């Protein structure tokens, strides 16, 4: 018996963990809203004009984007693409902005990341939680590029546990004062205003509040540091040394900072994923040009099977990440009647992991195929590799994102996981929802779900997807039954669950996008997309099948013991 849902779900992935396919969420595949197409095309044209004059070597420097380049970007409207029209921005919705940031990522990923931090993180935080006075004071200047904004969350000892911030706000002589240091602040070297997350004296552990802090005394950036990649982002450590806070500095209600940080990061992760897609597309085009001209044994190396396999794998990974990002962006634009945001935290995390790791795969293969010239700084391939490696840690550790994907997917509640101010570590300890998961699974059984919206030209691929989802639902039930509350500590299992979930979401997006392309253009004119979709399904089946067969591996405890031993030996050598 196929499970039926009484109402349209707000998340595609949460039901998928139960083996339920809500293909009504996949059709129609989202496109840019008609009223935004002209604005998007205009903004893309203007930023491409800026890109043609860029000195990319100058951007690939610790000082970040120069004042001259920032001025050119401001004239092109780049700083206001996602800010509201009433405050001078272009007001692009997320589906349109991912198209824009894919274009910018193809020009320079550092610039894309800096613009996303400015408007996608800090700007969205002000739009969502700022007072009318705060919005009027900062958003028009931000849209014009006259005031650069930074999003100050990360700290040296915090890692990815955002709720454990050490920056404090306390009362001194009747006034509020902020003390602490934020690290890895994008735009930090030249920001005019910071969205800072800190803990008040009266807040419980795990609670945060957000503040708008203008540049001034006590906010001088630390020394310029050399970074592996993304050197143009203007990364800096920003000390907040006894910074006085005005009565209007609070951004939103006290204690709501954690929720605000997570919600703004969801949208920014999707935009970062789009920027990675653009950068990877650029790398792929560059290496195709190289392998077409590079010859060995009397013919271009693009004619050799191993080279062709690499090009095909890169193309499939790129297509998957692009489809997933587009789909998620369309969902996130669908704000509910009451103004509530869609529950797309899992999907946004998957987009970031999928796209960043795809870009790294493309960068490695591109450098390999370029041969010796790939290692030279005169060519773009080594920078692609450095930027791809750096973007992997930007916006959250992928290990933590995988834990979030797995654990959030198993939760039996429609509330956002990160609406709660507890840390991820605490959520791992409180998976009491597993009992409810077992009960619901037992009530409805595990008949295979049908993927009814797939085009007949992809019927075989649709059946494969259905079978994989059914197996995934059964396996998650078995894992929940076996490990119970201990699942929060089983990170080997979490990783494998997340990897399968990432693959399945990528396949759903690919099948949905390709089905719509075939529907609109016909099978013959969509032959390349059909080939890509078929290859994506086959490649994913090779990964997902064995992963589901071996979700519990006997080697896990052995690997833990080896890790413990090498750490103990290292400690003894250093003592």
Q: Indicate the average pLDDT of the chain.
A: 88
- The confidence band for 534, taking pLDDT boundaries of 50, 70 and 90, is very high
The encoded tokens of residue 256 equal 């709501």
**Residue 158, pLDDT score:** 63
Strand-pair category, 175-185 with 236-245? antiparallel
pLDDT-derived band at 29 (thresholds 50, 70, 90) equals very high
Higher local confidence (pLDDT), 520 or 396: 520
Angle between helices 305-332 and 345-370 in degrees, nearest 10: 160
pLDDT band for 342, please (50, 70, 90 cuts). confident
DSSP line for 299-354: EEGGGSHHHHHHHHHHHHHHHHHHHHHHHHHHHHT---TTSPPP--HHHHHHHHHH
pLDDT at position 3 is 36
Residue 453's pLDDT band (cuts 50, 70, 90): confident
Question: What does the pLDDT average to over 556-574?
Answer: 93
C-alpha 573/C-alpha 575 separation (Å) is 6
Output the pLDDT for position 351.
98
167, 198 Cβ separation under 8 angstroms: yes
Strands 209-214 and 175-185: unpaired
How far apart (Å, rounded) are the C-alpha atoms in residues 184 and 181? 10
For residue 20, give both structure tokens. Answer: 């339920």
Q: Compute CA distances 123 → 81, 265, 448, 545, whole Å.
A: 10, 11, 44, 42
Which of 319-328, 349-358, 403-412, 508-517 is least confident?
403-412
Region 461-468 average pLDDT? 96
Return the higher-pLDDT residue of 547 and 428: 547
pLDDT tens digits, 201-236: 888 777 899 999 999 878 888 777 788 999 999 888
pLDDT at 474: 92
Contact 492, 559 (CB under 8 A): yes
| 160 three-class SS | coil
Residue-level pLDDT at 452: 81
Q: How confident is the model at residue 247 (pLDDT cuts 50, 70, 90)?
A: confident
pLDDT for 485 equals: 82
CA 5/CA 36 separation, integer angstroms: 33
299: left (phi over 0), alpha (psi -120 to 50) or beta: beta
Interval 481-532: pLDDT, tens:
888 888 888 899 999 999 999 999 999 999 999 999 999 999 999 999 999 9
160 vs 350 pLDDT, higher one: 350
Q: Distance (Å, rounded) from C-alpha 306 to C-alpha 368? A: 12
User: Poorest-confidence range of 16-25, 107-116, 160-169, 551-560?
Assistant: 160-169
Query: Would you give the end-to-end CA distance of the chain in angstroms?
Result: 63
How far is residue 423's CA from residue 488's CA, in Å, rounded to a whole number? 13
Give me 292's structure tokens.
Answer: 């077409």
- 10: confidence class by pLDDT, cuts 50, 70, 90: confident
| Closest CA relative to residue 401, chosen from 494, 473, 480, 330 | 494
Which pLDDT score is estimated for 163? Answer: 62
Measured between alpha carbons, how far is 125 from 573 in angstroms, rounded to an integer? 47
Residue 554 confidence (pLDDT) = 73
**What number is the average pLDDT over the span 357-385?**
96
Least confident piece of the model among 15-29, 337-351, 459-473: 337-351
pLDDT band of 443, cuts 50, 70, 90:
very low
Q: What is the pLDDT of residues 260-277, one digit of tens each?
A: 998 899 999 999 999 999
Mean pLDDT, residues 113-126 taken together: 97
At 444 the pLDDT is 47
- Least trusted range by pLDDT, from 208-217, 336-345, 425-434, 488-497: 425-434
């Amino acid at each position: 018996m196929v499970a039926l849902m009484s109402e349209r779900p707000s998340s595609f992935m949460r039901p998928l963990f139960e083996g339920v396919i809500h293909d009504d969420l996949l059709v129609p595949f989202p496109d840019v809203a008609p009223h935004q197409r002209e604005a998007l095309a205009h903004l893309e044209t203007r930023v491409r004009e800026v890109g043609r004059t860029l000195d990319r070597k100058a951007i690939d420097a610790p000082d970040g984007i120069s004042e001259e380049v920032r001025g050119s970007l401001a004239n092109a409207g780049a700083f206001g693409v996602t800010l509201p029209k009433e405050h001078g921005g272009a007001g692009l919705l997320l589906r349109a902005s991912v198209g824009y940031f894919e274009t910018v990522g193809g020009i320079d990923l550092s610039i894309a990341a800096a613009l996303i931090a400015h408007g996608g993180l800090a700007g969205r935080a002000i739009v969502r939680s700022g007072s009318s006075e705060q919005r009027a004071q900062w958003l028009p200047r931000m849209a014009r590029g006259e005031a650069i904004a930074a999003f100050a969350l990360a700290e040296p000892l915090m890692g990815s546990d955002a709720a454990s911030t050490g920056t404090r706000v306390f009362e001194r002589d009747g006034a509020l004062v902020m003390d602490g240091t934020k690290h890895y602040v994008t735009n930090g070297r030249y920001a005019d205003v910071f969205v800072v997350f800190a803990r008040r004296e009266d807040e419980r552990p795990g609670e945060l509040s957000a503040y708008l802090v203008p540049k001034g005394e006590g906010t001088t950036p630390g020394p310029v540091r050399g970074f592996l990649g993304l050197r143009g982002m203007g990364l800096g450590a920003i000390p907040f040394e006894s910074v006085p806070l005005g009565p209007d500095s609070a951004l939103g209600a006290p204690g709501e900072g954690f929720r605000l940080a997570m919600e703004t990061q969801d949208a920014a992760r999707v935009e970062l994923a789009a920027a990675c897609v653009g950068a990877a597309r650029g790398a792929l085009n560059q290496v195709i040009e190289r392998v077409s001209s590079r010859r060995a044994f009397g013919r271009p190396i693009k004619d050799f099977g191993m080279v062709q396999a690499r090009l095909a794998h890169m193309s499939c990974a790129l297509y998957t990440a692009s489809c997933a990002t587009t789909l998620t962006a369309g969902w996130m634009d669908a704000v509910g009647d009451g103004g509530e945001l869609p529950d797309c935290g899992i999907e946004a995390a998957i987009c970031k992991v999928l796209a960043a790791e795809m870009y790294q795969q493309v960068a490695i293969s591109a450098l390999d195929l370029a041969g010796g010239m790939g290692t030279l700084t005169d060519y773009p391939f080594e920078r692609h590799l450095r930027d791809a490696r750096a973007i992997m840690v930007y916006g959250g550790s992928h290990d933590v994102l995988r834990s979030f994907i797995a654990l959030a997917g198993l939760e039996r509640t429609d509330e956002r996981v990160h609406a709660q101010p507890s840390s991820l570590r605490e959520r791992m300890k409180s998976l009491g929802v597993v009992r409810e998961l077992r009960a619901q699974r037992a009530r409805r059984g595990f008949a295979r779900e049908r993927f009814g919206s797939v085009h007949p030209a992809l019927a075989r691929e649709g059946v494969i997807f259905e079978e994989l989802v059914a197996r995934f639902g059964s396996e998650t039930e078995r894992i929940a039954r076996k490990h119970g509350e201990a699942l929060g500590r089983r990170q080997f299992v979490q990783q494998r669950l997340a990897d399968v979930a990432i693959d399945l979401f990528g396949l759903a997006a690919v099948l949905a996008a390709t089905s719509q392309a075939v529907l609109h253009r016909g099978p013959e004119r969509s032959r390349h997309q059909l080939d890509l979709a078929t290859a994506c399904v086959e490649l994913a089946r090779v990964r997902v099948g064995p992963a589901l067969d071996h979700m519990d591996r006997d080697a896990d405890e052995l690997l833990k013991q080896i890790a413990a031993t090498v750490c103990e030996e290292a400690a003894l050598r250093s003592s």
